[in-house]
Amino acid sequence: MGSRRTTSRDQPPGLPSPRGEVSRRVITALGSPALLAHAHEAAEVTDPYGEDLQLALYVLYELHYQGFRGVDDEREWDPPLLALRGTLERRFLDALRADAPPGADAEQTLSDLLIEPVGHDDTSVSHHLQRDGELWQFREYAALRSLYHLKEADPHAWVIPRLYGRAKAAMAAIEYDEFGAGRPDEIHAQLFAELMQDLDLETAYGHYLDATPAPALATVNLMSLFGLHRALRGALVGHFATVEVTSSPGSRRLATALRRLGAGAAAQRFYDEHVEADAVHEQVVRRDVIGGLLDAEPHLDADVAFGVRATGYLEDRLAKLLLTSWRQGRTALRLPLPAAAHAA
């Protein structure tokens, strides 16, 4: 569709607009030496899934990725910011443990993900987009997913130093594929930027942060929460396994949707690549990443199961927001997208 040549990481993104007291104090503190007075008190009472907490947490996590324009790189390890991040993380993690407790062991929890519904699944975004989705809905989906896919595989890489033996070797092999197997033009984040270009979306890293609602921010924050804490390594492996197990069938549906909508070859290629690659990755992650981890550290079984459950819980919340909005004919984003320059 579009002819934009912007790459996804030309420069760090600008700071977003705050969405409440906590995010306002975080963003202010990043732009000046202001203290985070009263931010902890506000964090203790804000909705753990709400716009304010999820944006504040996203901003603090982003200091470990690309950072923000005008923010000193040294702020990544600023003690007051880390202390506030800890308060926000506890709120988020406590809510997840209450709402998505593991109901079975890791093997059974993962096996449940392999059961495809009979007939149409009215709760699935990929089923909706394959069957009934319109171009404007797919563009919204790609815009909000860009906060993850333009950093795809980065959060999971943090677990590699915390694994050893069979689990480490298998995880590194899968991540090698995610990062293009040595070819920069095949890095999955680059493929997603090309998908966005085909859909006439801005490809700059973090561009759609202000437009992305809290349920989508939460799905990205979950990876960073698990990735930045060695104590949550089992949960991160559970998250990674969930992505790999569900990716191939979901990607097949999304590729079909893009063909039906007449999107370009680059848009289709991203999901076609995941149909093939993740079908292989699914077997490796279950047999060698999880198998190797639990052989070495069997006490992490419940953590792996929790990672699976928490991932599914947040994805279900996001799907409900998207499908409810779209079926009512309205945008699911906080800010509507400009119309595509060209029809697909």
C-beta separation of 332 from 212 below 8 A: no
The pLDDT value recorded for residue 339 is 85
Q: What is the pLDDT of residue 344?
A: 43
Residue 90 tokens, joined: 């506890």
Question: What is the C-alpha to C-alpha distance for residues 241 and 185, in angstroms, rounded to an integer?
Answer: 25
Spatial distance between the Cα atoms of 42 and 81, rounded to a whole number of angstroms:
14
* pLDDT score of 48: 96
**Who contacts 56 (Cβ-Cβ below 8 Å, separation ≥6)?**
20, 22, 23, 25, 26, 43, 84, 88
Phi and psi torsions of 313, nearest 5°: -60, -45
DSSP 117: P
If we measure between CA atoms, which residue out of 177, 286, 181, 301 comes closest to residue 240? 286
pTM of the predicted structure, to 2 decimals: 0.93
pLDDT at 320: 97
Residues lower than pLDDT 50 in the chain: 1-6, 343-344
Q: Quick one: pLDDT at residue 213? A: 98
CB 40, CB 84: distance < 8 Å: yes
98 by Cβ neighbours in 10 Å (0-12 / 13-18 / 19+) ranks as exposed
**Cβ count near 155 (within 10 Å):** 24
- CATH superfamily, domain 106-327, is Heme oxygenase-like (1.20.910.10)
Separation between Cα atoms, residue 21 and residue 191, nearest integer Å: 37
Nearest to 178 by CA among 223, 143, 128: 223
Sign, CA dihedral 58-61-63-66, equals negative
Q: In this structure, what token pair is assigned to residue 302?
A: 């419940």
pLDDT, position 326 = 97
pLDDT, position 248 = 83
Cβ atoms within 10 Å, residue 60: 25
Is the CB of residue 27 less than 8 Å from the CB of residue 21? no
Q: How far apart are CA 109 and CA 243, in angstroms?
A: 13
